[in-house]
Amino acid sequence: MTDAAAGVDPKTWAVPPPRGLRRFLPILTWLPAYDRRWLRFDVIAGATVWGLLVPEMIAYSALAGLPPQAGLYTLLASLAAYAIFGTSRHVVVAGTSASAVLIASGVGRVAVFPAPMTTRCWLPASCFFAAGSSLRRGSCGSASSHSSSRDR
């Protein structure tokens, strides 16, 4: 880092953080400024990701001991939630095999008795959303970027 760059205060040139509702709903910030020329490419990218994630989520729901619909509902909910609450264009949010095994071990004890599908699915989904909302958005990315920038 040069001496000139070290003396510059980021508050003088950085964009101020969003305030009010825009702080918690980033879609209110980026959607009005969305460039419609990107729509064609975003639709192609979304269809590609959807084609990869649908079979993956069906397999993960089977791994968790749940019917295939549970994986599809989880996929729809996680993608919709990230579109509203997410802050990065380059992230895909979906279930993992590790979360499928954890759900199977946790829900397996509860789901011994016959229960409607909604009862079996809302509990793990609610736990994931609660855990995600309690964590500070971007903290993992911030930690990894700070550690890599210190090495330079």
> How far apart are alpha carbons 15 and 88 in whole angstroms?
16
What's the rounded Cα separation, in Å, for the pair 137 and 116? Answer: 33
User: Does the pTM of the predicted model rise above 0.75?
Assistant: no
Q: Please provide the distance, in angstroms rounded to a whole number, between the alpha carbons at the two ends of the chain.
A: 9
Confidence of residue 122 (pLDDT cuts 50, 70, 90): low
Between residues 109 and 81, the one the model is more confident about = 81
Mean pLDDT estimate for the chain: 74
What secondary structure letter does DSSP report for 113? S
Residue-by-residue DSSP string for 61-93 = HHHTT--HHHHHHHHHHHHHHHHHH---TT---
Question: Where does the pLDDT of residue 87 fall: very low under 50, low under 70, confident under 90, or very high at 90 and above?
Answer: confident
The pLDDT of residue 36 is 93
Per-residue tokens: 59: 């397999």
pLDDT confidence bin for 141, thresholds 50/70/90:
very low
